[in-house]
Chain A
Amino acid sequence: MIGNSTLVGPDRSGNIPNNREDQITLALSFVIGAIVGLVVVAFILLTGRLAARMYPAGGAAARRVLVPVAGALVTGFLLVRFFPEARGSGIPQTKFALFLRDGYISLRTVLGKFLCCSASLASGIALGREGPSVQIGAGIASILARAFNLSPANVRNLVPVGCAAALAAAFNTPIAAVLFSLEEIMGDLHATVLGSVVISSATSWMVLHLFLGDEPLFHVPAYHLVNPSEFLVYAALGVVGGFGSVAFVKLLLVVRIWFRKLPRWTLWMQPAVGGLTVGLFGWFMPEVLGVGYDYVERVLGGDLVLRSVFILAVLKIVATAVCYSSGNAGGIFGPSLFIGAMLGGCVGGVAHLWFPSSTADAGAYALVGMGTAFAGIVRTPLTSVIMIFEMTRDYSIIVPLMISNLISFFVSSKLQPQPIYEALAHQEGVVLPSMGDREQLGKLQVRDLMQPISVEADTPVDNVIGNLGNDGPATLPVVSGGKLLGVVTRFDLSACTPGQFVRDAIPSDVPIVTVYGDQALSLALEKMGANGVDALPVVSRSDGREWLGTITLSQALRGFGLEHQ
């Protein structure tokens, strides 16, 4: 069964009618795959050809500075004025839509993302096209689902379907696209939408091949393990990749905080800082501009000298961090692969210099390095392994890739516990559901049983204290204008003097324990027990002070078929 719907029972004749919406959802999976594939192909071709014209190889150095700055100014203006939802890489924004807005992504956002990212990447901004493709794909899926009047549940279900289609076409990696959608977007490898995701990924991939042929993203020589001692070098690469990933993520987050503190009127100009940074780097090393897949292929072939590779790794880390943080439209997938390839090339180059007979060419390490950085930055180790394999179609290096990925993932998790997309969401003030939360999504949720129980902050204490605990809970959320100010108990209220208001009773030294609407009822019970309360305020994930309702102990128990005595 595709989606969350259930089968209707048999009719009198014994026939079982299929759920119509499931059928539409299934059919739409093909349509989404096809449409998203077409759009992403256009996106790839436009950005590639425009970039070749905007800063051609061998062109004037000044052009490499002016074009990114001009492009960033134009896209900055467009993003602020017309397409505010199109900022960023697209992955966090897709997850916001999926978990906070029932999968709603507007047509304006999709158009804005397409236009602004095309312009941005064509100008040489050091960001990638895959993240934006994901948001575009998710948006197309959302638009189509709503156009066919599907239920909110199925609209949500089709968002990862669009994501998978986009990534399959953008990277030419249909299997990794499915895994990424489940591992990162949904956070659940056993999601019920697996079938639809596979269908859309395959369809999109076929569309890509119809227009652009069957070449892998990168052509690499057939590398193999030269000596078992190479595992030590690959392990070292995992450590280096982990540190490199952390450096990149921390730099990006720190710089982003700095940009967010700037006055709001500078918002449209901020991307130009990223453009100027990448332009100045590009003056000396044009390889930093744009996505840089040509140079990734060269380092995979062992064709770049060690010094250049090291410099490019450092420059790209800085350029991408500044470009992203300053608000340019574009993603970090492509740059992650670039950074990883360069780091791998460095480690491999040094290893091959010292131990030429026991190690493979630097290109083999660059190949593994790509996956290593991706696993460390994006924190999707399984997707990373499959993606590198699909990109290069080289299976011989897969065991070192797995080892290196795992080490990088471990190092990165220890030094930067919060994954980048989660950290970016937190900077926006959004708390996305954790893996545990997502696993509970199918079960009874808080929002199903919450009630509008609260007390206004300006209510006199005397009016409230008498009613507390009779039929309702002994704990009450205090709200004012829909905003949660705190929680009071009978004890807090009784400590007040007559004439005081409820807001005066809120204890200042007690942290406010809340739950989200999409969390499991069992979690709410756990929190009540842990904090010794019989009610919890339910707040919005996008604004922790926005009060949505109250879940009481009695309601929660009733949800499980029990009575509270």
Chain B
Amino acid sequence: MVQLYVVPEWFFGFNIFLELIFFVITILLASFAFRVYRASLQKNLRTFGLVFASIAVSYILLACINLLFLSTFHPATRALSLDEITDLKNVAIGLYVVFFIIGFSGLFHATHKTPTRKMFLLVDIIAFLGVYLSTNKALFLYSMSSIFLAFTVYHYLKQYTKNKNKNELAVLLGMTFLLTSQLGLAAQSVSYHPNLYVVSNILELIGYSCILISLLNILNNGAKKKSA
């Protein structure tokens, strides 16, 4: 049997709720990026908005996948198995992978100002091929997102070291927690330990909370400036 991940029975439902929260936060971030893009017409802001919109779509798809396709694995756990493949399951998982890869590779591109769209496309094609050809697809997927996030965390670390800005610190911490969460999911795809799935989700929640705090600070400071 091939499993993508394993969910403890007691956590089932909470995981879907968390995925919906992650969807809301990433859509908020995407909307804000588009608002700032409309005001400044700086192209990398549009890219950033599209990146988080893609990540948001992947969370909604994941919530649907978890609701519809998890099957009993061991007593007290459920798993997303690749053994019984239906067309709908195939499409759902395939779409999740597409939006997930575009999102996390796009985050790397948006923060690193990679020179051309062709470079972006090349990296994505290699990533899709890797997922398709690998025997442990979940391991490849979450390892790859970890690598993209590692570079992104390093970028934010350099920024924070230079500027010592509180909002930058919140974003740096947020991205670091997201990175550890992806590493946890990669580890879980090998060990199938259900607790790792729970821990990864909690780390992801902390990560997105830090990013949300940064966003709310920016909004608050913007509102104060207008009323001054």
- Do A and B form a real pair? no
Which A residues are within 8 Å of any B CB, using their own CB?
none
